[in-house]
Structure 1
Amino acid sequence: MARYKTLADVSVSLGSGEATSRALVDAALSAISDPAGQGAKTFIRRNDARARAMADASDLMRSVGQVRSPLEGVAISVKDLFDLAGEVTTAGSIANRDAAPAAADAPVVQALARAGAVITGTTNMSEFAFSGLGLNPHYGTPLNAYDRVTGRIPGGSSSGAAVSVTDGMAVAAIGTDTGGSIRIPAALCGLTGFKPTARRVSRDAVLPLSTSLDSIGPIAASVACCAVIDGIISGETDRGIRAMPLAGLRLAVPQTVVLNDMDDHVAATFAASLSLLSKGGAQIIEIDVPEFAQLAAINSKGGLIAAEAWHWHRSLLESRGDTYDQRVRGRILRGRDISAADYLDVLQARTAWQKGVNDKLAGFDAVLMPTVPMIAPAAAELDVDDQVFFATNGLMLRNPTMINFLDGCALSVPCHGASSAPVGLMIAGGPMTDAKILSVGLAIEQALTVRTTEQ
């Protein structure tokens, strides 16, 4: 169904000898270098020499019959939060560009390299991952491939990750997701993104936003791609994810909060997708989840993100605060006023909230909702108008952050017609239901193929 090349497509080309890793990686690096393209705004750190060396090594391995994984010889980008040995991890900022270079690759990067992936570089992002829109005043904002004439945002914070895939600079990308930062750009750019249960993938040597909520996962062309990459970076490569039968699946559609404020295109696309799944035999069951309406109040003082971001940033803000994106700086500074008692209140409320939500979701195979309630807006107005920026950011983050607060897992899969604006369908579950959500996601993706490939 995917418009973009899947891991399977690339593996077939490499396995048949139709292509070499070096040729494919050179093409990806050329796309990054294209002065007419988005490469300069998509990548913050490039690793051309290392990438070519990794590609050559992969071709040599393949020539003697050694294929380490489905990622063998495949170009992968990683978000600019991950340590790469000998380089400074800037996190889309200029505030910490004088920091000491990393001593070693982050464990996720090491896992990718062991699997034979070729790391093309690190991708642009909302500064310090603190926005769902993807704007970056320091390095520029890569534009959404869907409508570059209008100049639409890619979504964030993993903005460059998504654009690296849509523009052929990588076959897949690794991002992070604290409140939707994988799923939002996947939805807005017509890709598939997977946010795993946070504890499943090592966050060591990854610059944090919120240690309670951060998670690491892939953005790629399909659910199968995401399942392969998730297995590699989590160390669970022997799971054997298979599509569940669509007929008989019990799919909950919450009516509380998450369907509010949808634009007409998202509302119509979501409704059409549910209808298609129902015709395929899935049971679509509307439910109330009153806890969803409570989350804004629980986080009214800034929540876990502001408190934990302040903890990490307080010294850097004191010395380099004037170099921050001031919209990011202001949100982090909210954490300064959160007391220890306030923080513990949120943790306590989270435990009760999670129990309430999990009780509502018991007996369902997955939860469905629009990933975000709108198509990608134009960047220009967001750049100049703080009120529009923060209102839009709040709407973008609203639905995805429910799953982070739940400590759950979720896919965003494309559900729009091929010629229309990208829309993401979120397929979510509770903690440690990752394998099941991927299996349900494969079934739903197959069912939606008719819609997503129609002309």
Structure 2
Amino acid sequence: MSLLPKTLGYWRAELDSGRISSRDLTEQALDAAITSSEASSTFVAVHAATARATANAIDALRAAKVPLPPLAGIPISVKDLFDEAGQITRAGSRVLNGAAPATTDSVVVQRLRAAGAVVIGRTNMTEFAYSGLGLNPHYGTPRNPWDRATGRIPGGSSSGAAVSVTDGMAAAAIGTDTGGSVRIPSALCGLTGFKPTAQRVPTEGVLPLSFTLDSIGPLARSVACCAQLDAVLSARAGAALRPASLADRCIAVPRTLVFEGMDATVAAAFDAACRTLSAAGAHLVEIDMPEFAELGHINRLGGFIAAEAWAWHARLLQTGEAEYDPRVSVRIRRGAAMTAADYLTLLGDRRRWIAGVHQRLLDANSDTLLMPTVPVVAPPIALLQDSEELYGATNLLMLRNPTLINFLDGCALSLPCHKPGEAPVGLMLAGVHGQDERLLSLGAAVEVALARGT
């Protein structure tokens, strides 16, 4: 048996039935994480010894008929932002190579271990999580599983997280999302990704990009997988996920900004998805969202990310800037010019902006937005490496739609909506602050409808 493309529920049933052991499942993941074509650029550290020890312990408990937690014996990868005791948290950088190893696990890793997960290793990422493309000049860039011959971007910043799942190195991955870093690689690689409300999952022990916007979520094979992992990460385990009814459900499709620059492949997949949801009973209503067009101006000085990243990196940049990816350091340095007044203005603008978006949804009798996760399919890595101008423009395009929901302080799912064998395309469902369970339930219904429609 192979880890791809199976869900967490599938593996739990296989383990509980004895058809496979956690050790065998872990060996499959380790074999892929060490020997596959993308292995060296997907992981910055593989925990072979501890993964095997954990798997053996889980197998012994299962043989003794001890009740086990939900992820018992299942290999999961974590992004190189999460502290693990004894590991250096480098955030995909070289400048932190000399940092002291973490003395304790982050809360996220603690909760994964308590749930029985086998932490298979630390995944590569855009340096310091500051890009939506996934390129890393220090540790390499894992190629998107679609069209590997060309060599296309995996999306970022959780690049290794996505490829660890698509290539069977893990059954699911944990990433972070400050402006789309879970949803972008999920969309480009054909996975399901969930960005929860920002404060839903604790960020203690996670190297920050933006204290205001950072959120932590899973990349996996299904909405149910994401819901199960979110329950573990948020410590909000409750009733099993049940798909909502799509009958007469009003879903808002914003006309403003989100379709600009869209390629023909994404347009066709999105239109087909909309027809499928309408046929399933959903009421899709197009609305104007002028607030979306304002966000570029609101963030013209760099926004929360530049200001808060600069606060964290300023001293490190003074001594180690030569070790940074220059495409990252230049963006961090934008925050140096922001004043306290600029930051306070940004806080006020955000409150006004969120209130405006909420009112538009209320007027449309909806609490859910539907749009393409990103407007284009994954471009070739080589083109972006060779052109600063194209890199910058493509990065902004990839981040544009997802970052709307981070600024909204909302929650969002990206679901694959392409036909099998075609270029991966993501469909984004988004909800307002704190509506995570409702969104996951709706996402499960949308997933069923899309599967029936293909």
What TM-score bracket applies, with the shorter chain setting the length? over 0.9
Distance in 1 (CA, whole Å) between partners of 2:256 and 2:4 is: 33
User: Within 5 A, what are the aligned runs for 1:108-127?
Assistant: 108-127=108-127
Quote the residue 1:201 is aligned against: 201
Distance in 2 (CA, whole Å) between partners of 1:389 and 1:67 is: 50
User: Within 5 A, what are the aligned runs for 1:320-399?
Assistant: 320-362=320-362, 363-399=365-401
Distance in 2 (CA, whole Å) between partners of 1:156 and 1:253 is: 25
Distance in 1 (CA, whole Å) between partners of 2:392 and 2:70 is: 40
SS at match of 1:200: coil
- Structure 2 counterpart of 1:12, which letter? A
Deviation of the 1:32 alpha carbon: 1.1
The structure-2 alpha-carbon separation of the partners of 1:18 and 1:397, relative to structure 1 and needing over 3 Å to count, comes to same
- Contact 1:21-1:59 within 8 A present in 2 as well: yes
Quote the residue 1:288 is aligned against: 288
Deviation of the 1:65 alpha carbon: 2.1
1:163-221 deviations in Å (ceiling 9; x for gaps): 00000000000000000000000000000000000111000000000000000000000
Quote the residue 2:310 is aligned against: 310
Quote the residue 2:423 is aligned against: 421
Deviation of the 1:68 alpha carbon: 2.8
1:89 aligns with 2:95: no
SS at match of 1:121: strand
- Contact 1:129-1:209 within 8 A present in 2 as well: yes
- Structure 1 counterpart of 2:80, which letter? D
1:430 aligns with 2:432: yes
User: Within 5 A, what are the aligned runs for 1:245-264?
Assistant: 245-264=245-264
SS at match of 1:396: helix
1:25 aligns with 2:26: yes
The TM-score normalised by the length of structure 1 is 0.98
Quote the residue 1:6 is aligned against: 7
Quote the residue 2:451 is aligned against: 449
Quote the residue 1:170 is aligned against: 170
Task: Compute the RMSD of aligned alpha carbons.
Answer: 1.1
- Contact 1:365-1:440 within 8 A present in 2 as well: no
Distance in 2 (CA, whole Å) between partners of 1:48 and 1:106 is: 20
- Contact 2:84-2:104 within 8 A present in 1 as well: yes
Distance in 2 (CA, whole Å) between partners of 1:256 and 1:49 is: 51
User: How many corresponding residue pairs?
Assistant: 450
Percent identity of the aligned residues?
Answer: 56
- Structure 1 counterpart of 2:49, which letter? A
SS at match of 2:169: coil
Quote the residue 1:141 is aligned against: 141
Deviation of the 1:292 alpha carbon: 0.3
Distance in 2 (CA, whole Å) between partners of 1:156 and 1:347 is: 26
Deviation of the 1:157 alpha carbon: 0.1
- Contact 1:7-1:70 within 8 A present in 2 as well: no
The structure-2 alpha-carbon separation of the partners of 1:185 and 1:67, relative to structure 1 and needing over 3 Å to count, comes to farther
Distance in 1 (CA, whole Å) between partners of 2:248 and 2:187 is: 26
Distance in 2 (CA, whole Å) between partners of 1:244 and 1:66 is: 34
- Contact 2:38-2:143 within 8 A present in 1 as well: yes
Quote the residue 1:243 is aligned against: 243
The structure-2 alpha-carbon separation of the partners of 1:339 and 1:106, relative to structure 1 and needing over 3 Å to count, comes to same
Structure 2: which 5+ residue stretches go unaligned?
none
- Contact 2:197-2:409 within 8 A present in 1 as well: yes
SS at match of 2:253: strand
SS at match of 1:132: coil
Deviation of the 1:230 alpha carbon: 0.1
The TM-score normalised by the length of structure 2 is 0.98
- Structure 1 counterpart of 2:384, which letter? L
- Contact 2:178-2:209 within 8 A present in 1 as well: yes
- Contact 1:82-1:205 within 8 A present in 2 as well: yes
Deviation of the 1:97 alpha carbon: 1.0
- Contact 2:368-2:431 within 8 A present in 1 as well: yes
Deviation of the 1:334 alpha carbon: 0.4
- Structure 2 counterpart of 1:334, which letter? R
The one of 411, 431, 448 equivalent to 1:409 is: 411
Deviation of the 1:70 alpha carbon: 2.7
Distance in 2 (CA, whole Å) between partners of 1:322 and 1:167 is: 33
Deviation of the 1:46 alpha carbon: 1.5
Q: Is the deviation greater in 134-143 or in 360-369? A: 360-369
Deviation of the 1:299 alpha carbon: 0.2
Quote the residue 1:279 is aligned against: 279
Structure 1: which 5+ residue stretches go unaligned?
none
1:106 aligns with 2:102: no
- Structure 2 counterpart of 1:32, which letter? A
Deviation of the 1:3 alpha carbon: 7.0
Distance in 1 (CA, whole Å) between partners of 2:180 and 2:67 is: 33
Distance in 1 (CA, whole Å) between partners of 2:15 and 2:64 is: 13
SS at match of 1:261: coil
